[in-house]
Amino acid sequence: MGGWLALTVPTVVVLRFIDPPTTAFILRDRFDAWRGNETRYVFQRAWVDSQRISAQLKLAVVASEDQKFPTHHGFDFEQINDAWEQREQGRKQRGASTISQQVAKNVFLWPTRSWLRKGLEAYFTVLIETFWSKQRILEVYLNVAEFGRGVYGAEAAARRYFHKSAAQLSAREAALLAAVLPNPRRLRAEKPSPYVRHRVATIVAQMQVLGPTTVAAL
C-alpha cells in the first residue's frame, strides 16, 4: 500500500503543474487508426492554458456535463443514486460521472471498462480533488476530451469546426462542442443532427440559468 501511494500521489501532484503529454485513450485511438489503415484519419490536438479557453466553453461543459462541478468534491451522489435506480428499473441509464471522474479516467487509466477501473477511477478522483484546483481539473478536461474522431481538446475542436481559437468561441459554438461530448463518434459537431441541435438549445438555456457566478468560479 505504501508503495502504491508513493507512486500515485506524487504523479497526481506533478500533473497539477505539468500538462500530460498524452492519454491511454488517445494512444488507443491512434493505434486503432494505424491498425485499420484509416487513410482519412487526421489526429489533431494542441494544448492551451485555461486563460486561452473561452469562458463560454467552460460554462457550456459544466451546464451539460456536471452542473455541481464548482461545489462537489468529485462525486455527485444524487446523480449516482438516480443512475442506480434507473438500472434497477431496467431503464436506460444516464451518465453519472462528474468532470473530475472523467479526468481521472482519461488521464490516469485505460479505456477498457471493469470494476477494477471504476474503483481506481474513484481513487484518482479523490486525489485530484485533493491536490488540484477546480480550474486545473477543468483545464485538463478541456484539453484531453474527445470532440470527434481524432479531435482532442478544445483548441483542436475550435480550429477544426469553427476555424478559430478556443478563446474566441461564442456561447452557441461552445454549446455545440459540449453537446457532442457524451458520444463524439456518433454526435457530430460539423453536421449536427436534430438531436444535437436540441441539446445545443438546452445547454444554452442552462448556461443562462447558471450565469456569470458560475463563470467566475471557473
> What confidence tens digit (pLDDT) does each residue in 196-211 have?
999 999 999 999 999 8
Write the burial class of residue 52 (CB in 10 Å: 0-12 exposed, 13-18 middle, 19+ buried).
middle
Residue 14 counted as domain residue = no
Give me the percent of the chain exceeding a pLDDT of 70. 92
Residue 39 counted as domain residue = yes
Query: What is the distance in angstroms between the CA of the first residue and the CA of the last residue of the chain?
Result: 35
Pick 218 or 64 by higher pLDDT.
64
**Is residue 99 a contact partner of residue 62, using CB atoms and an 8 Å limit?**
yes
The edge-to-edge listing of strands for the beta sheet with 151-152 is 44-45, 151-152, 146-148
Residue 166 counted as domain residue = yes
Q: Provide the domain limits for residue 212.
A: 24-217
Residue 13 counted as domain residue = no
| pLDDT, tens digit, 9 for 90 and up, residues 15-32 | 999 999 999 999 999 999
The domain total for the chain is 1
DSSP state of 41: -
| pLDDT, tens digit, 9 for 90 and up, residues 80-118 | 666 555 555 555 555 669 999 999 999 999 888 889 999
Helix%, strand%, coil% for the chain, nearest 5: 60, 5, 35
Q: How large is the average pLDDT for residues 146-164?
A: 97
The band of 77, judged by pLDDT with boundaries at 50, 70 and 90, is: confident
Residue 9 counted as domain residue = no
Mean pLDDT, the chain, integer:
91
> What is the pLDDT at residue 211?
83
pLDDT for residue 70 is more than 70: yes
pLDDT for residue 1 is more than 90: no
151 φ/ψ angles, rounded to the nearest 5 degrees: -110, 110
> What is the pLDDT at residue 82?
61
DSSP state of 111: S
Residue 84 counted as domain residue = yes
CATH, residue 158: 1.10.3810.10
Least confident of 41-50, 68-77, 85-94, 125-134: 85-94
Q: How many angstroms separate the Cα of 6 from the Cα of each of 11, 74, 130, 134, 179?
A: 9, 22, 16, 24, 39
Q: ∠ CA 86-184-123 to the nearest 5 degrees?
A: 60
Q: How far apart are CA 76 and CA 26, in angstroms?
A: 27
The band of 179, judged by pLDDT with boundaries at 50, 70 and 90, is: very high
Residue 94 counted as domain residue = yes
Residue 208 counted as domain residue = yes
> What is the pLDDT at residue 86?
58
Query: For residue 66, which of 213, 160, 206, 216 has the smallest C-alpha distance?
Result: 206
